[in-house]
Amino acid sequence: MRRILDVSKGNKKLTLTVYLTLIGFVFLTAFGFISWYNSNIKTSSTLFTAVFFGVINLYLLKTKYRDFTRYILSIIVALIGLSLLAFGGQDATGYLWTFPLMAMALAVLSVREGMCFAAAYLLGSFSVLFLPLGSETFVHYEPVTATRYFLSAFALCCITLVLVNIQENTNRQLRLKTVKDDLTGLFNRAILDHNTIEQINLARNERSDYLLLIDIDHFKKINDNFGHSTGDEILVILGEILNTSMRDSDLAIRWGGEEFLVILQRCPSVHAQKIANQIRIEFEQNQRILQLLQRPATLSIGIAATSQNLMFDKALSLADSRLYKAKSQGRNRVVFSE
């Protein structure tokens, strides 16, 4: 569940990566020419190298490797920061730019990734500040200045990571409220937004995700004969059965009315059919339903799988046709093949 919710978070991080890469491209190009004009060759070389990798990053953002662009941006930022700290930059004020650079890098990373970045950057800055580098081209800082910088950088990393953590938790909670079905506690259709479906489609070359489209047989008659409160109770029971049948990587969704969708990730074909039949049998034999209706309720289930040649939308359409085939064959069954 958390992985699905993190898809939207990842998309926001990528959006931020795009803007920061574009802004960085403009500023680094400008400062690169200024440094070159002032004969500060080391600084200009560093900045133009960063611009080159920034262009590569912008290209990767249009490909399936766009998830890596956040890491590339962070590495570029770290190298620029350490270079400015080591060489001093324009008028030995380069270290002042490292603070916004650190915050920028941490903003596009998750908390765990940010902790790794902060540890690596602080280790590198400690080496530049306190270890004898043995070259006149490097800036030598007074011990007091070096200590103040290091402690300030450490504090900035800690504060930024706390803020990122708060933002991630808040976004996750808000997202959870919008994608939950109030009655069953399962996800609703909103969980399958464009970004989530895109992630499923991108992964279909590496794995098959099985879709189980489930419908409660004669549900309208249940509502008509026993009332909507009983119908709601039946839906809740099915939601509980689906929850207990799912692995952490799976996804159970109330698709609408009495229809439910289950997405089984990285699931063998035999296991998908086994889970579908297990859900069907458990629902049919549920004692609470037997007490409510004085007879069993049944399910019809259609199964389809994503693959290299079958994207999510087409797989869902195929599962839907197999669901109605199950109903036309007498209901209370699972249909996996035509």
CA 28 to each of CA 21, 23, 31: distance values in angstroms, whole numbers, following the listed order? 10, 8, 5
Residue 289: other Cβ atoms inside 10 A? 21
Amino acid at 34: I
Residue 173, judged by CB atoms within 10 A of its CB (0-12, 13-18, 19+), counts as exposed
CA 127/CA 132 separation, integer angstroms: 8
Six-digit token string for 1: 């569940």
* Residue 299 CB partners (closer than 8 Å, separation 6+): 214, 215, 216, 217, 238, 279, 280, 283, 284, 332
Catalytic position from the list 113, 168, 233, 258: 258
CA 204/CA 243 separation, integer angstroms: 24
Is 259 assigned a catalytic role?
no
CA 255/CA 241 separation, integer angstroms: 16
Residue 25, judged by CB atoms within 10 A of its CB (0-12, 13-18, 19+), counts as middle
CA 80/CA 125 separation, integer angstroms: 12
Residue 120: other Cβ atoms inside 10 A? 14
Report, as residue numbers or ranges, the catalytic residues. Answer: 258
